[in-house]
Amino acid sequence: MGELSALFSPERIAVVGATERAGSVGRAIMENLLDSFAGEVVPVNPSHEEVFGIPTLDDVAAADADLAVVVVPPQIAVDVVREAGEAGVRNVVVITAGFGETGSEGAAREQDLIEVAETYDIDLVGPNSLGIMSTPVGMNATFGPENATEGRMSFMSQSGAFITAVLDWANDQGIGFKDVVSLGNKAVLDESDFVREWGDDDDTDVIIGYLEGIDDGQAFIETAREVTAETPVVLVKSGRTDAGAQAASSHTGTIAGSDQAYEAGLEQAGVIRAASVQELFDAARVLESQPLPEGDGVAVITNAGGPGVMSTDAIGDSRLSMASFTDSTLDAFSEALPAEGNIYNPVDIVGDADNERFRDALDVALGDANVGSVIVLSCPTAVLDYQQLAADTVELQAKHGKPVAACFMGGARVEPAAETLADAGIPNYFDPARAVQGLDALSRFRDITEREYQAPTTFDVDRERAREILASVEGRADTRLGVEAMGLLDAYGIETPAGDIVDAPADALEVAESIDGDVVMKIVSPDILHKSDIGGVKVGVPNEEVYDAYEDLISRARNYQPDATIIGVQVQEMVDLDDGVETIVGMNRDPQFGPLLLFGLGGIFVETLEDTTFRVAPVSEPEAEAMTREIDAAPLLRGARGREPADVAGVVETIQRLSQLVTDFPAILELDINPLVATPDGVEAVDVRLTVDPDQL
Local structure of residue 564 (DSSP, 8 states): -
Given Mg ion, ligand ADP, none, residue 252, with its beta carbon under 5 to 8 Å by kind, binds: none
Q: With b meaning 16 or more CB within 10 Å and e meaning fewer, what string describes 432-468? A: bbbbbbbbbbbbbbbebeeeeeeebeeeebeeeebee
| Cα-based distances in Å from 538 to 517, 542, 568, 581 | 14, 10, 14, 19
Given Mg ion, ligand ADP, none, residue 585, with its beta carbon under 5 to 8 Å by kind, binds: none
Q: How far is the CB of 530 from ligand ADP (least distance, A)?
A: 5
Q: How far is the CB of 499 from ligand ADP (least distance, A)?
A: 8
Rank residues 485 and 686 by Cβ distance to ligand ADP and give the closer one.
686
Phi, psi of 591 (to 5 degrees): -60, -30
Give yes or no for a contact between 294 and 339, defined as CB atoms under 8 angstroms apart: no
Rank residues 84 and 519 by Cβ distance to ligand ADP and give the closer one.
519
Given Mg ion, ligand ADP, none, residue 532, with its beta carbon under 5 to 8 Å by kind, binds: ligand ADP
How is the chain split among helix, strand and coil, in percent rounded to 5? 45, 20, 35
Q: How far is the CB of 677 from Mg ion (least distance, A)?
A: 11
The CA distance from 213 to 233, in Å, is: 16
Rank residues 497 and 639 by Cβ distance to ligand ADP and give the closer one.
497
Given ligand ADP, Mg ion, none, residue 310, with its beta carbon under 5 to 8 Å by kind, binds: none
Q: How far is the CB of 482 from Mg ion (least distance, A)?
A: 9
- What would you report as the CA-atom Rg of the chain, rounded to the nearest whole angstrom? 31
Which pairing describes strands 67-70 and 12-16: parallel, antiparallel, or unpaired?
Answer: parallel
CA angle 245/273/280 to nearest 5° reads 100
Nearest to 531, CA basis, from 506, 508, 500, 564: 564
In the set 32, 588, 674, 691, which binds Mg ion (CB under 5 A)? 674
- In single-letter form, the type of residue at position 590 comes to D
The CA distance from 390 to 334, in Å, is: 24
Given Mg ion, ligand ADP, none, residue 534, with its beta carbon under 5 to 8 Å by kind, binds: none
Rank residues 122 and 519 by Cβ distance to Mg ion and give the closer one.
519
Q: How far is the CB of 536 from Mg ion (least distance, A)?
A: 10
Rank residues 244 and 603 by Cβ distance to Mg ion and give the closer one.
603
Given Mg ion, ligand ADP, none, residue 603, with its beta carbon under 5 to 8 Å by kind, binds: ligand ADP
Q: How far is the CB of 474 from ligand ADP (least distance, A)?
A: 24
| Cα-based distances in Å from 440 to 106, 405, 444, 574, 623 | 44, 11, 6, 47, 22
Rank residues 142 and 674 by Cβ distance to ligand ADP and give the closer one.
674
When asked if residue 582 is in the footprint of Mg ion (CB under 5 A), the reply is no
Helix pair 621-630, 648-664: axis angle to 10 deg: 120
How many residues form the binding site for Mg ion (CB under 5 A)? 2
Given Mg ion, ligand ADP, none, residue 574, with its beta carbon under 5 to 8 Å by kind, binds: ligand ADP
Rank residues 166 and 692 by Cβ distance to ligand ADP and give the closer one.
692
Q: How far is the CB of 575 from Mg ion (least distance, A)?
A: 12
Helix pair 505-514, 546-560: axis angle to 10 deg: 130
Rank residues 374 and 520 by Cβ distance to ligand ADP and give the closer one.
520
Given ligand ADP, Mg ion, none, residue 295, with its beta carbon under 5 to 8 Å by kind, binds: none
Give the containing element (helix H, strand E) for 486.
Answer: helix 486-491
**630-669 mask for Mg ion (x: CB under 5 A)?**
----------------------------------------
- Among 241-249, 360-368, 395-403, 670-678, the segment contacting Mg ion (CB under 5 A): 670-678
Given ligand ADP, Mg ion, none, residue 433, with its beta carbon under 5 to 8 Å by kind, binds: none
Given Mg ion, ligand ADP, none, residue 209, with its beta carbon under 5 to 8 Å by kind, binds: none
Given Mg ion, ligand ADP, none, residue 686, with its beta carbon under 5 to 8 Å by kind, binds: ligand ADP
Given ligand ADP, Mg ion, none, residue 539, with its beta carbon under 5 to 8 Å by kind, binds: ligand ADP
Q: How far is the CB of 529 from Mg ion (least distance, A)?
A: 9
Q: How far is the CB of 554 from ligand ADP (least distance, A)?
A: 16
Rank residues 160 and 536 by Cβ distance to ligand ADP and give the closer one.
536
The beta strand positions in 467-525, using DSSP E, are 480-481, 499-502, 519-524
Rank residues 318 and 572 by Cβ distance to ligand ADP and give the closer one.
572
Given ligand ADP, Mg ion, none, residue 629, with its beta carbon under 5 to 8 Å by kind, binds: none
Please give the biggest Cα pair distance in the chain.
100
Local structure of residue 342 (DSSP, 8 states): B
Phi, psi of 110 (to 5 degrees): -65, -40
Rank residues 579 and 664 by Cβ distance to ligand ADP and give the closer one.
579
- Among 160-168, 221-229, 624-632, 673-681, the segment contacting Mg ion (CB under 5 A): 673-681
Rank residues 522 and 615 by Cβ distance to Mg ion and give the closer one.
522
Rank residues 305 and 497 by Cβ distance to ligand ADP and give the closer one.
497
Given ligand ADP, Mg ion, none, residue 471, with its beta carbon under 5 to 8 Å by kind, binds: none
Give the containing element (helix H, strand E) for 68.
Answer: strand 67-70
Residue 658 burial class via C-beta count within 10 angstroms: exposed 0-12, middle 13-18, buried 19 and up: buried
Residues of this chain that interact with ligand ADP (CB under 6 A) are 497, 520, 522, 530-532, 537, 539, 572, 574-575, 577, 582, 603-604, 674-675, 686-687
Count of all residues that appear for the chain in the document: 697
Q: With b meaning 16 or more CB within 10 Å and e meaning fewer, what string describes 201-221? A: bebbbbbbbbbbbbbebbebb
Rank residues 454 and 561 by Cβ distance to ligand ADP and give the closer one.
561
**675-694 mask for Mg ion (x: CB under 5 A)?**
------------x-------
| Cα-based distances in Å from 59 to 78, 87, 115, 369, 624 | 14, 10, 21, 66, 57
Q: How far is the CB of 567 from ligand ADP (least distance, A)?
A: 14
Rank residues 443 and 583 by Cβ distance to ligand ADP and give the closer one.
583
Given ligand ADP, Mg ion, none, residue 359, with its beta carbon under 5 to 8 Å by kind, binds: none
- Under 8 Å CB-to-CB from 486, ≥6 apart: which residues? 496, 685, 688
- Taking the alpha carbons at both ends of the chain, their separation in whole angstroms is 43
Give yes or no for a contact between 375 and 439, defined as CB atoms under 8 angstroms apart: yes
Give yes or no for a contact between 525 and 480, defined as CB atoms under 8 angstroms apart: no
**Residue of this chain nearest to Mg ion (CB atom):** 687
Within its chain, how far is the Cα of 57 from the centroid? 46
Q: How far is the CB of 572 from ligand ADP (least distance, A)?
A: 4
Q: How far is the CB of 507 from ligand ADP (least distance, A)?
A: 18
Instruction: Assess whether the previous peptide bond of 675 is cis (omega < 30° from 0).
Output: yes
- Chain positions contacting Mg ion, by CB under 5 A: 674, 687
